[in-house]
Amino acid sequence: MTYWLQELQQKRWEYCNNLDAAKRDSRTSPTPSDFSKGLVAKDNPDLSILSQNASAERARNILAVETSPTDLVGEQAASQPAPVQPSAINFSLKQWSTEIKNSMSSLRKGNNENRKSIFYTTEEWELLDPTPKDLEDSMALEEKRKHLAEGSKGLTSSAFPFDFGRIPHKTRRPLKDMIGSSKNRNSSDSSPTEWYSGNGNKLVSELQLKYQSQQEELEKLKKDLLSQKELVRLLQQTVRSSQYDKYFASRLCEGVPKDKLELLHQKDDQILGLNNQLEKLNLEKDSLQQEVKNLKCKVGELNERLGMLMETIQAKDEVIMKLSRQLSECEDNTASQSGAVNSSMVTCTNKELQELDRLKDNLQGYKTQNKFLNKEILELSALRRNAEAREREWQAKYTSLEAKLCQIESKYLILLQEMKTPVCSEEQSPAREVITQLLEDALKAETSEQPEQAFFKPHLVSEYDIYGFQTVPEDDDEEKLVAKSRALDLRSLSLSENREISTGVKWENYLASTMNREMMRCVELKNLIRSGIPHEHRSKIWKWCVNLHVKKFKDSTIPGYFQTLLHNALEKQNPASKQIELDLLRTLPNNKHYSSPTSEGIQKLRNVLLAFSWRNPDIGYCQGLNRLVAIALLYLEQEDAFWCLVTIVEVFMPRDYYTKTLLGSQVDQRVFKDLMSEKLPRLHAHFEQYKVDYTLITFNWFLVVFVDSVVSDILFKIWDSFLYEGPKVIFRFALALFKYKEEEILKLQDSMSIFKYLRYFTRTILDARKLTAIAFGDLNPFPLRQIRNRRTYHLEKVRLELTELEAIREDFLRERETCVEKRDLISDDEEDS
């Protein structure tokens, strides 16, 4: 909620600041959006922004409530289902988490300490020796644990203290092991699945290892003994055989030489040595046998001691089991007595903690609200001061305007009185001075040299409109007066209209609906374009319309096609370049983007016309193309303006529309005459009666699509529909212009006044809504097939007439060559050449 309130607060602050900075320039004054294309996009409107209160901004930043929502907020949160609300109003998220913590702490008070006496395992129960404090805590909370112990009986995992009923008998260990392990467990937590360990276990393991090593050594000695026995047996046989040999040798060989006797003595010595070795081995054998007997005695003693230790452990286990059962019985008895007292104490403590958390949460909430309300008070004070400042400014402006209105009314009354009853001659009449002063005041340029007057004077008519066109010309005073009067009428019309807001909203909604998809031709889009494209979206829509019509041309060209054409036109000789240069500054001299050679639009205009002349050498350049490109460049970049010209010349208009003969333009004037006789028969008959050729006026309308013929607001609305629907729009608006002023034209009763009126009457039409309603409503039906059929019909007639004119011209030239009297006649074209 705080996040949403801050967002609303920020939006209100931005809106009020924008309201202070708003400048009502014209009814289509550009919004502070970012235009991406065209010359108009680079114009930044001068906004008279009031200076913001710096101290208020600093205070707003200091008092800003720090909220960085981690969950969904804004539109994402709005799209989510509504959360389930708690029953209590003040039960916030913080209190919710506190309640969960308190509930968990009430189930396991003491946290880690309690875990020393209660275990949750998935295999077997295990004993962990509790401290006296643990025993007291477990007794105090036995009431809360009782239902857990009862619910877990008979299950694989349970929570009951000091119960060994689930431990198999064969896995029980001596009490000495548990005593040794419990000493280490008092200083640090042990694993809940650790079994008995102690000195007895270590001693038994050492004895078993020693016994195994001695058994291996005994086996080795036995093998050595067997080998020695075999060796002794062999030696005994050798001794016996040697004694036998000696006996026979002494008897049979008494006469043997000394060397043989010496050899016999050596053999005897060897026999004696072997006998001595045999005796030593026998002694070693006896000692080893004695050692083996001693080891067997020791192993027997150790086995007896091990059996005694196992019996002692088993007895002590039984004692511990008995004591554990007695302890559990005592706990059951005492729990019934002290459970109620302890539970009430725990409940009271939990309630106090909950109340404390609730108060802390409320305190934090009040602090946040206080901060937010302080910021709100500060913002409202700043907004009130801004509103008061605006009110003072408006009051000053109103007072200034009222004073000026009184002065003007006084002067006009004097003027009217003088006109009604002149009292002096014309030379001495004060009316001349009054009129001169009024004209000077009306045509006085609005400058910033007098800031105190400029502050109070409303900015009704600026020097240039949003398209860059001059609103008041500089040369002719009479034309200045008419132009300023027209600009004031436009301003008054825009102030009295409120439809532009709804049109802008419709465009915003449509563009938002096409954000994730391409725009397509549809009835909704056509109606929106007919009502006028907003200034900030015109660049985008024009580019889309042009691409829609020239897609087939673009697909068949290479990348960088425009730059290639421009490079060729600049590098190579171009017959149209001379005429293009002559017409650049004559294109739109009343537009600031084309008013001087250094204007940004001049170079872009030159580039587009040169590139097109190189693309279409049949046309090259025709006067009128420069104005089409100049209008396109106001909202499009160079390449897009080039394709816009291709759309008009090669897609919309018939062939030979912009060639030297202007054949297509002449045909359209005859088609327009037919439509005039059909749609506006009274006006057509009026022109025929006084022999007024109005096609001399309308010819330029068709050739340059009303450029310099209507006011700029109407011109761009015509171009909006023209780029979307095609050339039929030109016929519609041409007829609508005549229908708009039909009654005024019918009142004129001579050809000169009619023709003079036709030259400027389009500049007096200011109501674009009414003109659009006539063009697209009153003139229906308006089928394009009818225009095409009439074009085909008149095309043949115009071609036949041009052929006849060419034949007459050739006959005249031939006759002039043959006739001596006519040889001196020279036509204007020949004289110029």
pLDDT at 119: 35
Tokens encoding 772: 């659009």
User: Residue range 279-305: average pLDDT?
Assistant: 91
Q: Are 320 and 175 spatial neighbours (Cβ–Cβ below 8 Å)?
A: yes
Q: Say whether pLDDT at 826 is over 90.
A: no
Q: Are 614 and 635 spatial neighbours (Cβ–Cβ below 8 Å)?
A: no
Q: CA 108, 110, 111, 113 torsion: positive or negative? A: negative
pLDDT at 361: 92
Angle of the 625-633 helix axis to the 638-646 helix axis, nearest 10: 140
Tokens encoding 273: 């040595």
The most confident of the ranges 172-176, 415-419, 612-616 is 612-616
Q: Please report, in angstroms and rounded to a whole number, the separation of the first and last CA atoms in the chain.
A: 85
Q: Say whether pLDDT at 568 is over 80.
A: yes
pLDDT at 47: 37
Q: How far apart are CA 688 and CA 625, in angstroms?
A: 32
Tokens encoding 380: 């409202």
Q: Say whether pLDDT at 628 is over 90.
A: yes
Note the pLDDT tens digit of each residue in 113-150.
443 333 333 333 333 444 555 545 545 555 554 544 44
pLDDT at 302: 92
Lowest-confidence pick of 477-486, 624-633, 735-744: 477-486
User: Residue range 239-247: average pLDDT?
Assistant: 73
Q: Which residue has the higher pLDDT, 233 or 449?
A: 233
Q: Say whether pLDDT at 369 is over 50.
A: yes
Q: CA 10, 13, 15, 17 torsion: positive or negative? A: negative
Q: CA 677, 682, 683, 685 torsion: positive or negative? A: positive
Band of the pLDDT at 242, cuts 50, 70, 90? confident
Q: Say whether pLDDT at 180 is over 50.
A: no
Q: Are 126 and 185 spatial neighbours (Cβ–Cβ below 8 Å)?
A: no
Residue 33 phi, psi dihedral angles, 5° rounding: -90, 170
Q: Say whether pLDDT at 515 is over 50.
A: yes
Note the pLDDT tens digit of each residue in 401-439.
877 777 676 766 666 666 666 544 444 455 566 666 666
Band of the pLDDT at 181, cuts 50, 70, 90? very low
pLDDT at 418: 64
Band of the pLDDT at 621, cuts 50, 70, 90? very high
Q: Which residue has the higher pLDDT, 702 or 47?
A: 702
Mean pLDDT score across all residues of the chain: 76
Band of the pLDDT at 239, cuts 50, 70, 90? confident
Tokens encoding 262: 């010496």
Residue 469 phi, psi dihedral angles, 5° rounding: -80, 145
Residues in the chain: 833
> Could you give the C-alpha distances from 191 to 118, 128, 181, 194, 215, in angstroms and in order?
13, 9, 11, 6, 37
Q: Which among 498, 489, 497 has a CA at the least distance from the CA of 471?
A: 489
Q: Say whether pLDDT at 477 is over 50.
A: yes
What's the burial of 318, exposed, middle or buried (CB within 10 Å: 0-12/13-18/19+)?
Answer: exposed
Local structure of 709: helix, strand or coil: coil
pLDDT at 16: 74
Tokens encoding 367: 């602090």
Local structure of 470: helix, strand or coil: strand
Q: Residue 386 CA to chain centroid, in angstroms?
A: 34
What burial letters (b/e) apply to 474-511, b meaning 16+ CB within 10 Å?
eeeeeebebbbebbeebbeebeeeeebeeebeebeeee
User: Residue range 226-241: average pLDDT?
Assistant: 82
pLDDT at 815: 83
pLDDT at 64: 62
pLDDT at 228: 86
Cβ contacts of 736 within 8 Å, gap of 6 or more: 771, 772, 774, 775, 778, 779
Q: Which residue has the higher pLDDT, 293 or 63?
A: 293
**Residue 243, Cβ neighbours under 10 Å: how many?**
12
> Could you give the C-alpha distances from 728 to 99, 187, 547, 731, 772, in angstroms and in order?
76, 98, 19, 5, 14
Band of the pLDDT at 323, cuts 50, 70, 90? very high
Q: Residue 792 CA to chain centroid, in angstroms?
A: 53
Q: How far apart are CA 614 and CA 229, in angstroms?
A: 124
Whose structure tokens read 């998809």? 517
Note the pLDDT tens digit of each residue in 70-106.
455 544 554 555 444 444 434 444 444 554 445 444 4
User: Residue range 811-823: average pLDDT?
Assistant: 74
Q: Which residue has the higher pLDDT, 46 or 225?
A: 225
Q: How far apart are CA 742 and CA 51, in angstroms?
A: 52
- Residues of the chain with pLDDT > 90, as a percent, come to 35
C-alpha dihedral, 190 to 196 to 198 to 202, nearest 10°: -120
Q: Residue 460 CA to chain centroid, in angstroms?
A: 40
The most confident of the ranges 42-51, 447-456, 501-510 is 501-510
Helices (H), 616-694: 625-633, 638-646, 663-679, 681-689
Note the pLDDT tens digit of each residue in 745-775.
999 999 999 999 999 899 889 889 999 999 9
Q: Say whether pLDDT at 563 is over 90.
A: yes
C-alpha dihedral, 747 to 752 to 754 to 757, nearest 10°: -110
What burial letters (b/e) apply to 291-300, b meaning 16+ CB within 10 Å?
ebeebeeebe
Tokens encoding 267: 């053999």
Tokens encoding 598: 């250094």
The percent of the chain in helix, strand and coil, each rounded to the nearest 5, is 70, 0, 30
Q: Are 750 and 690 spatial neighbours (Cβ–Cβ below 8 Å)?
A: yes
pLDDT at 59: 57
pLDDT at 431: 58
Note the pLDDT tens digit of each residue in 2-40.
777 878 878 887 777 766 554 444 343 334 344 456 888
Q: Which among 461, 455, 448, 449 has a CA at the least distance from the CA of 389?
A: 455
pLDDT at 30: 39
Name the E strands within 23-176: none
Lowest-confidence pick of 318-327, 452-461, 496-505, 535-544: 452-461
Q: How far apart are CA 669 and CA 695, in angstroms?
A: 6
pTM of the model: 0.55
Lowest-confidence pick of 70-79, 276-285, 370-379: 70-79
